[in-house]
Amino acid sequence: MKSPLVLAMVSCFSALQLHAQDSLENTFNKYGFSCEIASDGFTTSYIFKRQWRDRDEIIHLYQTTHTEGQYKAFVEFALPQVQISFHKVEEVLSDITKVSSFMHHTIQSNCLRQMLDENTHLNMKNYMLAVNTDEEKMHFINYLHQFYEVCARPFFHEYTNIEQVDCHLSDLTDKEADYFIYGEGNTSIHRRLIIKALAGNPSTLPYYQYLESALCARKDKSLTYNNMYNLLLKIGEKLAIKPEQAQ
């Protein structure tokens, strides 16, 4: 009996052959995603987003265009990434930092090993996929549908609420957690704290105290640590993380 992934690949492949010229931004339409595109002429981000009441489910594609001479261009895509933005987590940060959460998310994965195994038709160098000919584009769209079935769909189903994320974090090392949680601007530890607090995790206060002690010892050594420390204090105040919680 064929697996659901194989059946999905077979069912969509003939359609992909007929529609190889379709624009990339329509790739995930049938799954209920809309697409937003941001480009500076050399790099392009495709942000596929499906919105729910308390979270956004996101698939992120990052494209680079290399020019060789005046008339040649070579296009590559990074491995796609699946992301979830939990509104409550991002609202806490954006309320404090006054930075829009539009391009931010809470957790992420690229299913690196699985998706390396799924790539059988596209040239890859430094984890970048070359997509230039019509045939390569057809294979890339097929690859993206595989990515949805192998990586994105299971990820979205596994993490539908903050409590599930918090439970998973308890099984991760700090290094693994730093990748699992989005951390641009050195904010992964802050997001982890917010997740613990919103999930009602009893280890919230000890984790806050651990971070406060570690960052306080470093805050005079660099502006980065100082900013991380100040952000931590503001989060603690906003979420009322106080010693009384230990009672």
Tens digit of each residue's pLDDT (9 = 90 or more) over 33-62: 999 998 887 899 999 999 999 999 999 999
The stretch 93-112 carries a mean pLDDT of 83
Kindly report which listed range (79-83, 131-135, 221-225) carries the lowest average pLDDT score. 131-135
The secondary structure of residue 38, as a DSSP letter, is E
Hey, how many other C-beta atoms are within 10 angstroms of the C-beta on 94? 15
User: For the chain, what are the domain ranges?
Assistant: 4-160, 163-246
Sheet strands (E) in 26-106: 34-39, 43-51, 55-68, 72-78, 81-86
Segment 110-114 long-range contacts (CB within 8 Å, at least 24 positions apart)? 110/79, 110/80, 110/81, 110/82, 110/151, 111/82, 111/147, 111/150, 111/151, 111/155, 112/79, 114/150, 114/151
Where residue 197 falls among pLDDT bands split at 50, 70, 90? very high
Q: Which two tokens stand for residue 214?
A: 């570690």
**Tens digits of per-residue pLDDT, 130-144?**
898 888 898 899 899
Greater confidence (128 vs 69) lies with 128
